[in-house]
Amino acid sequence: MSMPVKMVKTVSQAFTTVMGIYGPVTVAYVQETDTWKRDFLSHQAMTEFAAAVERQAKSGELSADVTTVALMETPHQSANDMS
């Protein structure tokens, strides 16, 4: 069973920047929390997440004070957790 995340420790460097109606928004992913660590994010996941952030930024769903958005997994058990 996965433990809930209480703290984000590390966020990746921005892998892209998208333009929204309020300005640029950098896009990154959470690399480490108090309960798990992610070594990389697939190109497909980066592309899909960046597209979703761009849609929200251009629609105004992200407020003017949002300058960075980072993808964070929901807690789950994976085969890599067993090694």
Mean pLDDT by 10 residues, the chain (83 residues): 81 96 97 89 96 97 97 69 45
Q: What is the reported pLDDT for 45?
A: 95
Q: Hey, what are 41's tokens?
A: 């994010």
Q: What is the reported pLDDT for 83?
A: 43
Q: What is the reported pLDDT for 10?
A: 94
| Strand ranges (E), 3-78 | 8-11, 16-20, 23-33, 68-71
Output the pTM of the full model.
Answer: 0.82
> What is the end-to-end Cα distance of the chain in Å, rounded?
15
Tokens 């497909």 found at: 44
